[in-house]
Amino acid sequence: MQRLLITSIISFLFIFTVNAQNKRIIKDNFETNRFQWDEYYENNSSASIQDGCLLLKCNEDNLMAWTVSELPINVDNNFNLSFNFLTREINDDYWFGIVLNYEDENNFLYFVVQEKKFQLVKRVNGVNSIVRRNAIILKKGKDKVVNIKVNKKGNKLDFLVDDMDVITITKMLDFNTFGCIICGDKTIKLTELTIEQIE
């Protein structure tokens, strides 16, 4: 009986260790530009790393601003990405979120949220088209932290906002370039990015 118990414990520890070794977790708190985020300063928008965050600004109502980085993940394997945003204000015209499957400035996918809503948008040859949109629970307020996650499992992408499931789509990714985005005359801070690669 004792031998069986010891064997069971060793087997459990072995499985746990193998599972732990098959995950690689990296956190970026933006003390440095370790992932070579695209920093720029233009008249109508800017992206910069300062004071322990990635600061993204857009200065015109009818424009979008984004910044991206080629992240150290294999998009063919499963992964989890977690973005922590510090918002100036949540309201019904403050769209912000994440960029994924970024090929170039005219071709990518982005997931944005505002008060009570989300949109998943595909940009192809510079033209934006809404893939999905629906209601979410995101209440208005000032200086709020919002967490957006995208988790890949097989050919499924799950999007979560503040740990609430929002949407699942079937999509194979071709590019490991991800980022953040804002729409309109707004500012957003990305304070932490967590990458979990599942080998």
Which band of pLDDT confidence, cut at 50, 70 and 90, is reported for residue 144? Answer: very high
State the pLDDT at residue 199: 77
Q: State percent of the chain over pLDDT 70.
A: 89
Q: How far is 148 from 41, CA to CA, in rounded Å? A: 26
Q: What is the pLDDT of residues 74-105, one digit of tens each?
A: 999 999 999 999 998 888 888 999 999 999 99
Domain 25-198: CATH class, spelled out? mainly beta
What's the full length of the chain, in residues? 199
Q: How far is 167 from 171, CA to CA, in rounded Å? A: 12
* Six token digits for residue 64: 């979008």
Query: 27 - beta bridge partners?
Result: 194
Mean pLDDT value of segment 173-188: 95
**The pLDDT of residue 109 is above 90:** yes
State the pLDDT at residue 186: 92
State the pLDDT at residue 127: 96
State the pLDDT at residue 89: 86
Which band of pLDDT confidence, cut at 50, 70 and 90, is reported for residue 4? Answer: very low
Three-state secondary-structure class, residue 2: helix
| pTM beyond 0.85, yes or no | yes
Q: State percent of the chain over pLDDT 90.
A: 76
Contacts of 182 (CB under 8 A, 6+ apart): 56, 57, 58, 64, 65, 66, 95, 96, 188
| Average pLDDT value for the chain | 89
Amino acid letter for position 77: N
State the pLDDT at residue 123: 97
**The pLDDT of residue 39 is above 80:** yes
**The pLDDT of residue 193 is above 70:** yes
Q: What is the pLDDT of residues 43-73, one digit of tens each?
A: 999 999 999 999 999 999 889 999 999 999 9
